[in-house]
């Protein structure tokens, strides 16, 4: 079953009356439950923009061309209110960004708790879950450190713990390894791979990095605001699909 179904997705940024950037020019995309998908392409090709639409951070253009469709687990997301989209982001999605991912005044565990509280957990429950997720990413001992006391790789692992705290069906990551050296990057990727296999969560990774792409199930290649190609890296095993459905 598809977690995300998008059709005719367009996004134009208007910088001034004369200066428009057509970041997405009509994209169809479908992401299956349990998939680990990479979105790749040159800088400026619209990868982040696509992720922002999927993540309900922006809405697709409605005012020109064929009507866009965006459904999330069967719900039409094209005309949702800000409140409804915020709620879905809080409860059903996890986000990881390239950098400056964490709130600097909060400790690692408080950063993770934040997402739990946004999803409606009480403080105590949020804390328990946050510690469990920090343990999953191997950072339990760093729980009370501030972001400034953590390395880049550790910060990204905290961000992943935060993205996972509500067991979301969909985790969206925009260049999560962009600021890491190849060793840290491989480590983080291994963790994502493992979570995807073990928990059947769907991951969409925006990346530049061919090695990251190669570790995914599928690559969506973008160019100039369009999907240029879909590449199946490996067939999902019946085992994966079974886990995802469970």
Partner 1 sequence: MSLLRNLARRRLRTALTVTGITIGIWALVVFGSMANKISAIVAIGSDYYAGKIVVTDKSGGLDGDSPMAIALVDDIAAIGGVAAAVPGVSTLLDPASNSGISMPDMVVGALPGADHGKNMYDARVAQGRALTAEDADSLVAVLGSDLARKLGKGVGDTVEIRGMAFEVVGILEPTLTAPDTTAIVPLAAAQAIYLGDLPPVVRENVRADQLATDITVYPDAGTDVEALAARIEAAIPNASAMTGAEFDGVVGSSVAIFNAIIVGVALISLIVGGLSVINTMAMSVAERTREIGIKRAIGGSRARVIRELVSEAGLIGLLGGLLGLGLGAVVVYLANEAGRGSGMALFLLTPQTAIFAVLFSTILGVVAGIIPAWSAARLDPVAALRYE
Ligand X SMILES: Nc1ncnc2c1ncn2[C@@H]1O[C@H](COP(=O)(O)OP(=O)(O)O)[C@@H](O)[C@H]1O
- Interaction residues for partner 1, span 107-126 (CB under 8 A): 110, 114-115, 118-119
* Residues in region 17-56 near partner 1 by CB under 8 A: 52, 55
- 8: nearest Cα among 28, 24, 33, 31: 28
The nearest distance, CB 238 to partner 1, in angstroms, is: 34
Residues 29-48 that bind Mg ion (CB under 5 A): 48
Q: Does 26 bind ligand X (CB under 6 A)?
A: no
Instruction: Say if CB 136 and CB 163 are below 8 A apart.
Output: no
Binding at 10: pick from ligand X, Mg ion, partner 1, none (beta carbon under 5-8 Å per type)? none
* Total residues at interface with Mg ion (CB under 5 A): 1
Quick one: which of 31, 45, 101, 163 contacts ligand X (CB under 6 A)?
Answer: 45
User: Residue 13, interface with ligand X (CB under 6 A)?
Assistant: yes
Count of residues near ligand X by CB under 6 A = 12
Q: Is 83 in the site for partner 1 (CB under 8 A)?
A: yes
Q: Which stretch binds ligand X (CB under 6 A): 40-48, 78-86, 90-98, 236-244?
A: 40-48
Q: Contact between 46 and ligand X (CB under 6 A)? A: yes
CA 94/CA 163 separation, integer angstroms:
4
Q: Check residue 177 for interaction with ligand X (CB under 6 A).
A: no
Cβ-based burial of 199 (10 A; exposed 0-12, middle 13-18, buried ≥19): middle
Residue 49 as a binder of Mg ion (CB under 5 A): the answer is: no
Q: Residue 140 interacts with partner 1 (CB under 8 A)?
A: no
Residues that bind Mg ion (CB under 5 A): 48
């Amino acid at each position: 079953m598809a977690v995300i179904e998008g059709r005719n997705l367009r996004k134009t940024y208007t910088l001034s009356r004369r200066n428009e950037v057509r970041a997405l020019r009509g994209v169809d995309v479908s992401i299956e439950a349990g998939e680990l998908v990479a979105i790749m392409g040159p800088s400026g090709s619209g990868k982040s923009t696509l992720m922002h639409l999927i993540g309900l951070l922006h809405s697709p253009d409605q005012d020109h061309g064929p009507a866009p469709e965006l459904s999330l687990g069967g719900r039409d997301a094209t005309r949702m209110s800000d409140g409804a989209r915020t709620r879905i982001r809080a409860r059903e999605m996890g986000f990881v960004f390239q950098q400056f991912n964490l709130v600097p005044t909060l400790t690692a565990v408080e950063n993770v708790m934040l997402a739990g509280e946004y999803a409606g957990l009480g403080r105590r429950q949020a804390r328990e879950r946050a510690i469990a997720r920090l343990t999953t990413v191997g950072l339990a001992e760093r729980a009370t450190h501030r972001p400034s006391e953590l390395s880049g790789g550790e910060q990204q692992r905290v961000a992943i713990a935060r993205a996972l705290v509500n067991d979301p069906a969909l985790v969206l990551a925009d260049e999560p390894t962009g600021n890491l050296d190849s060793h840290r990057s491989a480590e983080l990727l291994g963790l994502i791979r493992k979570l995807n296999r073990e928990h059947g969560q769907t991951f969409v990774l925006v990346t530049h990095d061919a090695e990251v792409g190669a570790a995914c199930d599928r690559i969506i290649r973008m160019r100039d605001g369009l999907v240029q190609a879909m590449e199946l890296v490996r067939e999902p095993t019946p085992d994966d699909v079974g886990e995802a459905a469970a």
